Amino acid sequence: MPEEISNTVKSGPAGIAGSWPEHEDTTAKWFLISSIAYFFIVGIIAVTIAAKFVWPSLLGTVQYLTYGRLRPLHVNGMLFGWLLAADMGLTYYLVPRLCGVKLWSEKLGVATAALWNVIVLGAVVCLLMGWNQGLEYAELPLPLDVLVVVAWIMFGANIFMTIASRKYDQMYVSIWYIMGTILWTAFVYLTGNFAVLFATGTNQANLNWMYVHNAVGLIFTPVGLALAYYFIPKASNTPLYSHKLSMIGFWSLAFVYVWTGAHHMLHGPISQWLQTIAIAFSLMLLIPVWAVVYNFFATMKGQWHQLKDNVPLKFLMSGVVFYLLTCFQGPMHSLRSVNAIVSKTDWIPGHAHMAVLGAFSFFAIAGTYFMIPRVFRTRLFSESLGNWSFWFLMLGGLGFFTTLWLGGFWQGWQWNNPAIPFIDTVIALKPVWIVRFFSGILMFLGIVSFAYNIMATIIGAKDNPETAAA
Amino acid sequence: MQQDYVYPSIYFSYFFFALMAAGALYFFLKTWRSGYLGENSEEPKYRMLEDDAPGGQQK
Amino acid sequence: MLRKADTNFGFAIAAALIFFFIGGTLTTIVPPLVDKTWAKPFENSDPAKGPVGQLKPYTDVELKGRAIYVREGCWYCHTQQTRTLLADTKRSGWKGVDSPISTPDEFVYDSPHMFGTKRTGPDLSRVGGKYDTQWHRTHFRNPRDLVPGSIMPPFPWLVANQEEFTAVVAYLQTLGRAKHWRPDNDYEK
């Protein structure tokens, strides 16, 4: 049986050298440029709502700019405007390369990018007007949900057709993860945005939490790991430690993640046995996480010195560390005893930001830093600015995460002592929110330097005669 | 009164863990016997390093 | 098996979907079929079984108020669940009487559900009937006038619009009222 593989695959780099297709990458470019613009714009909103915790009357007389309107805009803008769009753009870049063929349809891809921008702009208008479905992560009104489904089908068809026409039989890890993302997202999104409308109360909440949990677990996690599995070996020019270990990570993720939605309702009005199932499976999440993280660390063995002056690799490996931490927090938080302390506190945004910003946005930023100079056939505008963007985001992120975890525990312990009036637990957290605001400023500076660096690279590529000829 | 589903859920979990352990063992033995667990199935990780024309790469 | 997952496009897709659907079905479709309390409105007339009372559907005005609650994003900072924690039952309590815990049958008419994930302000699952209309008017106009140190944003346009204000207060007064558990000293009565 082992011979099969050597027969079906044109083995070794020598066999494929010189036969690369001419990639256009137009879709990838458009997705990334618009996602970076949203990263910057929504970053302003993020800092504004952090400021509202410190100065609660800020913009308080403008109905369209209250906390309740800006928070969904921040969440949806970052998730769909920035992160998912950037992930899709990078997918359009790496799938054709891993398959050794051109993207199935560049025209369809550009149409998808255009539709995605329509969705994001529509979301801004709707959320500021307060047209909100009232379900977390599913705030967008129904017409926009339908457009998201259409865009996702366009994206999925394009990627699947590319994979189906691939040159090599055996698929690299990133391809499985991307296929998984496309398939699971379809069902997770339909559950969270359409099926919920036919349910009420606890039943609806259960569907809603299945969606919320898996929006992170089966959308951003697999596509983020696809990026990490691609860009860590590429950026360090080191082969991945183990292809087979990555399969354990993938298939256990496929099986375990979807069970855990009810852990958002621990101690709440939902059946105890369902909570127990969610807890058991939350603990099992350690398996896919540690399989993946071990693979990345083992890849870097003997290569850590590269972190010194490799900006994408800095983002990637700190993203891996944050991924490990956030996926340790998650299972621990789902234990009933820990949950009784930290649930519903400021620990929650700390945890959520570490997953979405610390891990998955870091992967996407690294991918952008890696991809943009290559597709525009130029150099990065400034390596040192890239370094600055890393340290701004890193320090801002650490300030944000650590103060909110500690603050969250502190808050939870106070809540569990009913002798303390609620308002005193609010006042006690004010120093935490001040640190959060200044950490937010640091992170925003990181976003600005990242966005400026990329935009200057793109604009500089046009004026560079040497690359224009190439 | 509301029925207590805690114990059935625990038995269900034990059953499920056993089922999964058996499944994992089965797949492991099967792939081991088919010879998949060798070096030659690791090929994609070397190939992906050479997946693009070096033109875009400037160091 | 693993090689097939690795090289066969159709097999990989099928396996990924099957794995997903096992957990997906068992945790979303099956639970409401097993636990009937999720869909049956609360009703109890026997004090031996806990607080008596009955869950009633929302009126039109209350539904309008609920829509405003959703529109203004109140649910981002206020949860609506008294959890099975001693501290929760005390914090949701009133005048020394602990509140009963929230159960699924109290939320049968809620859509969208407002359980919430983040408690920046206090939980509202038992707030109905605790504060009168005048209190809410002053509090919406500027929360810090009544609760120094509060970080709730002011909502002056709610107070200015009599129709919306009446609706939202009507909704707030329904919260947690299905179970009769409190001493008889409601402001509004």
Nearest to A402 by CA among A445, A435, A369: A435
Residues of A at the B interface, defined by Cβ within 8 angstroms: 1-2, 5-6, 9, 11-13, 16-17, 20, 23, 97-98, 100, 168, 170-174, 230, 233-234, 237, 239-240, 242-244, 271-274, 276-277, 280, 373-375, 377-379, 470
How many Cα atoms occupy the beta-carbon half-sphere of B14 within 13 Å? 5
Residues of A in Cβ contact (< 8 Å) with C13:
179, 183
Q: Is B35 on the interface with A (CB under 8 A)?
A: yes
- Determine the Cα angle at A301 with ends A298 and A305, to 5°: 140
Phi, psi of C43 (to 5 degrees): -155, 125
Type and span of the H or E element at A106: helix A106-129
Residue pointed to by tokens 């207060």: C169
Give the pairing of strands C43-44 and C179-180: unpaired
Using CB atoms, pick whichever of B1, B5, B36 lies closest to residue C2.
B36
What is the rounded CA–CA span in Å between residue C102 and residue C80? 9
CB–CB contact C20 A200 (8 Å)? no
CB–CB contact A205 C113 (8 Å)? yes
What is the rounded CA–CA span in Å between residue A67 and residue C47? 42
pLDDT at B4: 64
CB–CB contact C104 A201 (8 Å)? yes
**Least CA distance to A255: which residue of chain B?**
B20
Beta bridge partners of C179: C53
pLDDT at C84: 94
> B2 to chain A, minimum CA–CA distance in Å?
10
pLDDT digits (tens, 9 = 90+) for B22-33: 988 988 888 888
Beta bridge partners of C97: C94
What is the rounded CA–CA span in Å between residue A134 and residue C73? 8
**Least CA distance to A262: which residue of chain C?**
C27
The residue type found at A110 is V
Query: Could you give the C-alpha distances from A342 to A347, A437, B18, in angstroms and in order?
Result: 6, 21, 32
Q: Give the distance from CA A394 to its chain's centroid.
A: 16
For A319-350, give the DSSP string. Answer: HHHHHHHHHHHHHHHTSHHHHHHHTTSTHHHH
pLDDT at A403: 94
Q: Are the beta carbons of C169 and C135 closer than 8 angstroms? A: no
> What does DSSP assign to residue C50?
S
What is the rounded CA–CA span in Å between residue B50 and residue B31? 28
ipTM of the complex: 0.94
Residue pointed to by tokens 């309702």: A265
What is the rounded CA–CA span in Å between residue A385 and residue A392? 10
CB–CB contact B34 A1 (8 Å)? yes
Using CB atoms, pick whichever of B44, B55, B56 lies closest to residue A243.
B44
Instruction: List the alpha helices (DSSP H) in A138-271.
Output: 142-164, 173-193, 201-214, 221-236, 243-256
Q: Is A423 on the interface with C (CB under 8 A)?
A: yes
What is the rounded CA–CA span in Å between residue A326 and residue A21? 39
A59: left (phi over 0), alpha (psi -120 to 50) or beta: left
Beta bridge partners of C52: C180
What is the rounded CA–CA span in Å between residue A244 and residue B27? 13
CB–CB contact C2 B5 (8 Å)? no
CB–CB contact C70 A207 (8 Å)? no
Beta bridge partners of C44: C53
Provide the b/e sequence for A299-310 (b: ≥16 CB within 10 Å).
bbeeeeebeeeb
Residues of B in Cβ contact (< 8 Å) with C34:
5
Q: Are the beta carbons of A255 and A284 closer than 8 angstroms? A: no
Question: Is CATH 1.20.210.10 what the domain over A22-461 is classified as, yes or no?
Answer: yes
Q: Are the beta carbons of C166 and C121 closer than 8 angstroms? A: no
CB–CB contact C5 A218 (8 Å)? no
Beta bridge partners of C94: C97
Q: Is C127 on the interface with A (CB under 8 A)?
A: no
pLDDT at C94: 87
pLDDT at B57: 43
CB–CB contact B41 A244 (8 Å)? yes
Nearest to A325 by CA among A360, A305, A355: A355
What is the rounded CA–CA span in Å between residue A59 and residue A61? 6
Query: Cβ contacts of residue C60 below 8 Å, gap of 6+?
Result: none
Interface test with A, best of C6, C36, C91 (most A CBs within 10 A): C6
pLDDT digits (tens, 9 = 90+) for A317-346: 999 999 999 999 999 999 999 999 999 999
What is the rounded CA–CA span in Å between residue A174 and residue A432? 39
Residue pointed to by tokens 């009599």: C162
Residue pointed to by tokens 């009164």: B1
Query: Cβ contacts of residue C41 below 8 Å, gap of 6+?
Result: C54, C55, C105, C108, C109
Using CB atoms, pick whichever of B10, B37, B50 lies closest to residue A244.
B37
What is the rounded CA–CA span in Å between residue A380 and residue A368? 11
pLDDT at A169: 86
Phi, psi of C80 (to 5 degrees): -130, 65
What SS3 class is residue C188? coil
What is the rounded CA–CA span in Å between residue A171 and residue A313? 24
Q: Which residues of chain A fall short of a pLDDT of 50?
A: 1-17, 468-470
Residues of A in Cβ contact (< 8 Å) with C17:
183
What is the domain partition of chain B in residue ranges? 6-49
Q: Which residues of chain C fall short of a pLDDT of 50?
A: 189
The residue ranges of DSSP E strands in C11-158, in sequence order, are 43-44, 52-54
Query: Could you give the C-alpha distances from A127 to A134, A144, A326, A357, C49, in angstroms and in order?
Result: 11, 11, 29, 22, 44
> C171 to chain B, minimum CA–CA distance in Å?
29
Tell me the count of A-B CB pairs closer than 8 A: 94
Q: Is A287 on the interface with C (CB under 8 A)?
A: no
CB–CB contact B31 C34 (8 Å)? no
